Structure 1
Amino acid sequence: MLKIIIENLHHKEINTLESKRKVIEIIHENYIDWMHACGKKGRCTSCKMIITEGAENLSPLTEREEFFREKDRLKLNERLSCQAELKSGTLKIRVADINKFPHVKYSD
């Protein structure tokens, strides 16, 4: 079983049996609001996630993610949830402050 834990959403746990799926799709299918301004096409960074643990369980960086890294719009511990696929294990992430929704109550 694969697991995503969103630490600053009260350690919300999402379990899935399906691997090689985009992180944002798994989050949205579990009725969690997650920002995405470009339609999940990797054209912006509004869906970025901060990875605190489990980066090795994701697919390699895509061309779009490398582009944003080169432009200093993605840090080493950040990935685009619309580009990164969960391959195995557990992924612990945080919502970036700049991408938080005003209607959602976040935790530390």
Structure 2
Amino acid sequence: MPRIVIQNLFNKEIFSKAPDRKVIELIHENGIDWMHACGKKGRCTTCKFILVKGEQNLGPFTEAEEKFANMGRLKANERLSCQAELVSGEIIIRVAEVNKFPHLEYSK
């Protein structure tokens, strides 16, 4: 069963009953507020996450992710949650510092 662990949100666990789901969809379905300024269309980087572990469990980079990586707006260990699909297994992620909401409490 695919699983997301958000490390700096007190190791919040999200389980998916189906593979091939966008990371942001799973996060939102579980009631977690996650930034996304462009409406989940891959036109900005406000929904990016830092991938700590589980790269092999995500689908390949999308065209939008490649574009932002080439522009230097996505680091090698970052993905767009509106583009990245969780295909199997577990990923461990972190909310990027620049994308944290002021009204949420984050752990280390």
User: 2:56: which partner in 1?
Assistant: 56
User: 1:71: which partner in 2?
Assistant: 71
CA distance in 1, matches of 2:12, 2:68: 28
2:94 matched to 1:94?
yes
TM-score, scaled to structure 1? 0.99
User: 2:13: which partner in 1?
Assistant: 13
The number of equivalent residue pairs is: 108
Report the CA distance between 1:32 and its aligned residue: 0.2
CA distance in 2, matches of 1:21, 1:11: 20
CA distance in 2, matches of 1:68, 1:2: 26
CA distance in 1, matches of 2:75, 2:27: 21
Identity of aligned residues (%): 64
Aligned CA-pair RMSD: 0.4
**2:41 partner amino acid:** K
In structure 1, stretches of 5+ residues that fail to align are none
The C-alpha deviation readout for 1:28-79, integer Å capped at 9, x for no partner, is: 0000000000000000000000000001100100000000000000000000
User: 1:39: which partner in 2?
Assistant: 39
**1:93 partner amino acid:** I
CA distance in 1, matches of 2:16, 2:83: 18
Report the CA distance between 1:9 and its aligned residue: 0.1
User: 1:84: which partner in 2?
Assistant: 84
CA distance in 2, matches of 1:8, 1:53: 14
CA distance in 2, matches of 1:79, 1:16: 19
**1:65 partner amino acid:** E
Report the CA distance between 1:17 and its aligned residue: 1.2
CA distance in 2, matches of 1:95, 1:25: 15
